[in-house]
Structure 1
Amino acid sequence: MGTNPSDMTKNIKTENSSVSVSNKEQNQEESTNVVKFVDTKSSEQKQLIPSADSVIQELDHRSNISGNKSPSLGASRRERPTTKNTALDYEFDASDTENTDEEHKTTTTINESEHASSSFVTNVLSNTKHELLNTFKIMKVASDIHDTLFIEDLEDSISPLLRALAIRQKYMHHSFQSYSPTIENFLAKILEEDNRYQRTSLNVNLHKREESDPSTATPIKVENPFSKPLLPPMDACVRVEKGIYHVYILNEQKQWIPSKYKSITMEEFIEDYTLISKMIVDGPLQSFCHRRLQYLKTKHDLHTLLNEVKEWSEVKSASHRDFYNVRKVDTHIHAVASMHQKSLLNFMKKKMQIASDMKVYKKPDGTMLTLKQVFDELNININEIDVDLLGVHADRNTFQRFDRFNANYNPAGKAMLREIFMKSKNHIDGIFYAELLKEVIANLEASKYQHAEFRMSIQGRSKDEWNQLAKWFLANKMHSTNVSYMIQVPRIFTAHRAGGKLKNFEELLTNLFQPLFDATINPESYPDLFRFMHYFTGFDSVDDESKPESSILTCHTVDPNQWNTNENPPYAYYLFYMYANILVLNQLRRSRGLNIYQFRPHCGEAGDVSHLATAYILAENISHGLVLRESSVLQYLYYLCQIGIAMSPLSNNSLFLSYNQNPFLEYFQRGLCVSLSTDDPLQFHFTKVNIS
Structure 2
Amino acid sequence: MTQDSRSLSLVGYDSYKESPSASPILLDGLDGNDDTPDQGLGFDSSLEITSQQPERNSRAFKLEDSSADGISHLDDLDMIPLTTKFDTQMKMGSPMAMPPETLPPVKPITATDLVYSSLAHLPSYFFEQTHFRIERKCLLEMCKLRRNYLIVSKQDALSCFHLHPKLPEQGLKPVEDRLSRMPHLLNLREDKTSTSAENNDYKRELYNGAVDVPTFKEFRQNFERCLEIIRDKNLSRFSEKRLQYLLNKFPVFQYLHSKEELKQSKKVPHKDFYNCRKIDLNLLLSSCFSQWQLNEFIWAKLRKEPNRIIYQTTDGKHITLSQLFKVDFEETNMFCNGLKIINDSFLEWYKVIYLAKYHLINSEPETYIELHDRQFRYYLIAKTFLEFDNYTNGEYLAELLQEFLIKPQESSKYQLCQLSVDFQFYLHYGDSNVDNWWMVFSNWLNHYNLFSDNICWNIRISRIYPKLYQTGKVKNFQDFLNLIFSPLFNAQSCSHKSLGPILSKFLSRIASFDLCIQDSDDYIWKQFTEVNCLPQNWTSNGDNPTISQYMYYVYANLAKLNHVRRVLHQTTFTLRSSCSPTSMNRTSQFSSTRNFTEHTEAILNNFLLASGGFLNAENLWYAPPSLIYVFYLSQIPMVVAPLNSIADPKGTTTLEDQAATGIVLEPPKHYSKNPFMKFFEMGFKISLSSESILYNHSYTREPIIEEYSVAASIYRLPSADLCELLRNSVITSGFASTLKVIWLGISLTPHDYFMENTGFVNNWYDCKPNTSLDHNVPIIRRQYRNSTLSGEWRLIIA
Same fold (TM over 0.5): yes
- Tell me the amino acid that sits aligned with residue 623 of structure 1: L
- Tell me the amino acid that sits aligned with residue 617 of structure 2: G
SS in 2 for 1:519: helix
In the alignment, what sits opposite 1:626?
618
TM-score, normalised with respect to structure 2: 0.58
- Distance, in Å, in 1 between the alignment partners of 2:303 and 2:107 is 59
Is residue 2:607 matched to residue 1:613?
A: no
In the alignment, what sits opposite 1:416?
380
- Distance, in Å, in 2 between the alignment partners of 1:570 and 1:547 is 11
Alpha-carbon offset, residue 264 of structure 1? 2.6
Gap change, CA 1:616 and 1:378, over 3 Å in 2: farther
SS in 2 for 1:478: coil
In the alignment, what sits opposite 1:591?
567
- Distance, in Å, in 2 between the alignment partners of 1:530 and 1:349 is 37
2:162 pairs, out of 207, 218, 234, with: 218
- Distance, in Å, in 1 between the alignment partners of 2:211 and 2:391 is 42
> Higher mean Cα deviation, 455-464 or 161-170?
455-464
1:168 pairs, out of 120, 143, 146, with: 146
Gap change, CA 1:369 and 1:42, over 3 Å in 2: closer
In the alignment, what sits opposite 1:678?
690
SS in 2 for 1:489: strand
- Distance, in Å, in 2 between the alignment partners of 1:520 and 1:530 is 9
1:508 pairs, out of 480, 488, 494, with: 480
- Distance, in Å, in 2 between the alignment partners of 1:323 and 1:386 is 34
Alpha-carbon offset, residue 550 of structure 1? 4.6
2:266 pairs, out of 297, 300, 316, with: 316
In the alignment, what sits opposite 1:458?
423
Alpha-carbon offset, residue 355 of structure 1? 2.0
1:441 pairs, out of 387, 406, 419, with: 406
Alpha-carbon offset, residue 220 of structure 1? 4.8
- Report the number of matched residues: 512
In the alignment, what sits opposite 2:553?
577
1:363 pairs, out of 313, 317, 320, with: 313
- Distance, in Å, in 2 between the alignment partners of 1:651 and 1:27 is 40
Structure 1 unaligned runs (5+)?
Answer: 1-12, 46-153, 180-213, 230-247
- Distance, in Å, in 2 between the alignment partners of 1:255 and 1:276 is 33
Aligned-pair Cα RMSD in Å: 4.2
Tell whether the 8 Å contact from 1:421 to 1:430 is kept in structure 2 after alignment: yes
Is residue 2:630 matched to residue 1:637?
A: yes
Gap change, CA 1:589 and 1:610, over 3 Å in 2: same
Alpha-carbon offset, residue 378 of structure 1? 4.5
Alpha-carbon offset, residue 15 of structure 1? 14
Gap change, CA 1:288 and 1:22, over 3 Å in 2: farther
Gap change, CA 1:388 and 1:415, over 3 Å in 2: closer
- Distance, in Å, in 2 between the alignment partners of 1:285 and 1:666 is 21
- Tell me the amino acid that sits aligned with residue 313 of structure 1: K
Gap change, CA 1:219 and 1:28, over 3 Å in 2: farther
Tell whether the 8 Å contact from 1:394 to 1:684 is kept in structure 2 after alignment: no
2:235 pairs, out of 271, 285, 289, with: 285
Alpha-carbon offset, residue 215 of structure 1? 4.5
Gap change, CA 1:587 and 1:163, over 3 Å in 2: same
Tell whether the 8 Å contact from 2:287 to 2:694 is kept in structure 1 after alignment: yes
Tell whether the 8 Å contact from 2:517 to 2:577 is kept in structure 1 after alignment: no
Quick check: which has more Rg, 1 or 2?
A: 2
Pairwise mapping of residues 249-398 of structure 1 onto structure 2 (< 5 A)? Answer: 258=208, 260-378=210-328, 384-386=338-340, 389=343, 391=345
- Distance, in Å, in 1 between the alignment partners of 2:503 and 2:110 is 39
- Tell me the amino acid that sits aligned with residue 689 of structure 1: E
- Render the CA deviation track for 1:442-466: whole Å, top value 9, x for unaligned: 1112222111111112123337111
Gap change, CA 1:299 and 1:404, over 3 Å in 2: farther
In the alignment, what sits opposite 2:579?
603
- Tell me the amino acid that sits aligned with residue 419 of structure 1: K
Is residue 2:462 matched to residue 1:490?
A: yes
Tell whether the 8 Å contact from 1:456 to 1:485 is kept in structure 2 after alignment: yes
In the alignment, what sits opposite 1:664?
676
- Distance, in Å, in 1 between the alignment partners of 2:293 and 2:207 is 55
- Distance, in Å, in 1 between the alignment partners of 2:205 and 2:107 is 59
Tell whether the 8 Å contact from 1:263 to 1:580 is kept in structure 2 after alignment: yes
Gap change, CA 1:219 and 1:632, over 3 Å in 2: farther
Gap change, CA 1:481 and 1:39, over 3 Å in 2: same
Gap change, CA 1:546 and 1:283, over 3 Å in 2: farther
- Render the CA deviation track for 1:353-380: whole Å, top value 9, x for unaligned: 2222222211122222222223245577
SS in 2 for 1:455: strand
- Render the CA deviation track for 1:189-229: whole Å, top value 9, x for unaligned: xxxxxxxxxxxxxxxxxxxxxxxxx2557255577877999
- Tell me the amino acid that sits aligned with residue 633 of structure 2: L
Percent of residue pairs identical: 24
Alpha-carbon offset, residue 432 of structure 1? 0.8
Gap change, CA 1:475 and 1:437, over 3 Å in 2: same
SS in 2 for 1:415: helix
Pairwise mapping of residues 472-551 of structure 1 onto structure 2 (< 5 A)? Answer: 472-522=444-494, 523-525=497-499, 527-545=501-519, 549-550=523-524
- Distance, in Å, in 2 between the alignment partners of 1:360 and 1:329 is 35
Tell whether the 8 Å contact from 1:225 to 1:474 is kept in structure 2 after alignment: no
SS in 1 for 2:646: helix
Alpha-carbon offset, residue 590 of structure 1? 0.6
Alpha-carbon offset, residue 584 of structure 1? 0.2
- Distance, in Å, in 1 between the alignment partners of 2:531 and 2:693 is 42
- Tell me the amino acid that sits aligned with residue 396 of structure 2: F
- Distance, in Å, in 1 between the alignment partners of 2:105 and 2:669 is 41
Gap change, CA 1:546 and 1:514, over 3 Å in 2: closer
- Render the CA deviation track for 1:81-101: whole Å, top value 9, x for unaligned: xxxxxxxxxxxxxxxxxxxxx
- Distance, in Å, in 2 between the alignment partners of 1:609 and 1:226 is 51
- Distance, in Å, in 1 between the alignment partners of 2:421 and 2:119 is 41
TM-score, normalised with respect to structure 1: 0.66
Is residue 2:394 matched to residue 1:430?
A: yes
- Distance, in Å, in 1 between the alignment partners of 2:250 and 2:171 is 50
Tell whether the 8 Å contact from 1:485 to 1:536 is kept in structure 2 after alignment: yes
Alpha-carbon offset, residue 275 of structure 1? 1.2
Alpha-carbon offset, residue 381 of structure 1? 6.5
- Render the CA deviation track for 1:425-446: whole Å, top value 9, x for unaligned: 1111111111111112111122
- Distance, in Å, in 2 between the alignment partners of 1:661 and 1:284 is 28
- Distance, in Å, in 2 between the alignment partners of 1:44 and 1:467 is 53
- Tell me the amino acid that sits aligned with residue 339 of structure 2: I
- Render the CA deviation track for 1:544-572: whole Å, top value 9, x for unaligned: 15757457997645534433522211212
In the alignment, what sits opposite 2:743?
none
Tell whether the 8 Å contact from 1:605 to 1:656 is kept in structure 2 after alignment: no
Gap change, CA 1:426 and 1:257, over 3 Å in 2: closer
Gap change, CA 1:629 and 1:503, over 3 Å in 2: same
Alpha-carbon offset, residue 274 of structure 1? 1.0
SS in 2 for 1:452: strand
- Distance, in Å, in 2 between the alignment partners of 1:24 and 1:366 is 72
- Distance, in Å, in 2 between the alignment partners of 1:668 and 1:157 is 26
- Tell me the amino acid that sits aligned with residue 219 of structure 2: F
Gap change, CA 1:519 and 1:417, over 3 Å in 2: same
Tell whether the 8 Å contact from 2:230 to 2:627 is kept in structure 1 after alignment: yes
Gap change, CA 1:478 and 1:641, over 3 Å in 2: same
Alpha-carbon offset, residue 479 of structure 1? 0.6
- Distance, in Å, in 1 between the alignment partners of 2:112 and 2:688 is 21
Gap change, CA 1:255 and 1:509, over 3 Å in 2: closer
